[in-house]
Amino acid sequence: MNIVECTDVNKTYQQGQVQIVALKDVSFCIETGAFVALAGPSGSGKTTLLNLIGGLDSADSGDITVDGNPFGQMSQSQLAKLRLYMVGFVFQAYNLIPVRSAAENVEFVMLLQRIPVSERKQRARAILDEVGLGGKYDRRPAQLSGGQQQRVAVARAIVSNPSIVLADEPTANLDSKTGKGLLEIMKKMNLEKQITFIFSTHDKMVMDYARRLILLQDGRLADDRVK
């Protein structure tokens, strides 16, 4: 069963007087439980495509559905609710809330889902333990290393058991050892919890971990292969 379906997706940006084609007639499907890398050089449209799949941005034309929900017909509020329950994000720059501790960052999604406080705390600590941050619950992002912050971001993305996690160059700011550790964690979550993972990356190590590689070149789908 497909969790993501993209059909003839186009996206153009205006940069001053210049129009930049970010995506051109991109079509593909991703099945539930996949571990997919969207690869390509800088400017190939990876992040744009990830943002469109996450409903953070809207396509100029074409259809995107996630778990049967057509994004083109949904309001910002409906998209936000969909993201809350179905989509987890891991960003290249971690994007943790600086004034909240690691546990509170993880709890925030559950807070929005109105999960009772005791359950929130218990689940946040459990997932932080799982990503190897046991004992660092109360540290604020500034008190954690880049790798640790990205693990908090992964914990935040998966704590509410979303159907899909979108990771935008998750290892770009990490050394190879830390990056590998993070990929192991995500792979484990993918296998154990059947969460679909979609990465945008130009990191060879991430591509090696992915079971499917979608290659983008100048906004077009250049290759799509299952390993």
Partner 1 sequence: MTIDVKMAWRNIWRNPRRSILTISAIAFSSLLLVFMLSFQFGSYETMINTSVKIHIGHLQVQADEYLDKKTIGLVVPNPAAVAAVLETIPQVEAYTFRGQTFSLVSSKQRTCGAVVTGIDPRREAQVSRLKKLVRQGRFLSEKDRAQALIGKLLARNLRLGLGDELTVLGQARDGSIAATVVTIKGIYSSSIDEFDRSAIQIPLKTFQTVYAMNDAVHEVVIIAKSLSDVAGIKRSIESKLLALENQKPLRTLDWQELMPGLRQGIEMDLISGMIFYFLLILVVAFSILNTFLMAIFERTKEFGVMMAIGTTPGRLTKVLLIESMTLTVIGIISGILLGSMMTLYFQSRGIDFSGASDLLSQFGISGRMYPKLTMLSAISGPMAVWAITFLAALYPALKVRRMRPVDAMRAV
Q: Which residues are at the interface with partner 1 (CB under 8 A)?
A: 51, 54, 56-57, 76-77, 80-81, 83-85, 88-89, 91, 95-99, 108-109, 111-114, 156
95/178 with CB nearer partner 1: 95
DSSP designation for 145: -
CB of 205 to partner 1, least distance (A): 25
Question: Could you tell me if 57 and 49 are in contact, meaning their C-beta atoms sit under 8 angstroms apart?
Answer: no
* Shortest Cβ 223–partner 1 spacing (Å): 26
Cα 207–220–218 angle (5° rounding)? 85
Amino acid at 98: P
Closer CB to partner 1, residue 113 or residue 161?
A: 113
| Alpha-carbon torsion (175, 176, 177, 179), positive or negative | positive
Q: Which residue has the tokens 């296998």?
A: 191
Residues sharing a CB contact under 8 Å with residue 166, sequence separation 6 or more, in sequence order:
50, 53, 54, 87, 88, 89, 90, 198
20 or 56, CB closer to partner 1? 56
Neighbours of 90 (CB within 10 A): 26
What minimum distance in Å lies between the beta carbon of 63 and partner 1?
19
| Helix (H) and strand (E) counts in the chain | 7, 10
Least distance in Å: CB of 222 to partner 1? 24
CA distance 210 to 24: 24
Task: State the CB neighbour count (10 A cutoff) for residue 34.
Answer: 20
Minimum CB separation of residue 80 from partner 1 in Å reads: 4
- Show the tokens assigned to 140: 């604020």
Identity of the residue, 99 or 222, whose beta carbon is nearer to partner 1 in the bound complex: 99
- Nearer of residues 54 and 179 to partner 1, judged by Cβ: 54
Residue whose CB is less far from partner 1, 91 or 197 = 91
Closest approach, Cβ 227 to partner 1, in A, equals 29
C-alpha to C-alpha distance for 69 and 181, rounded to whole angstroms: 33
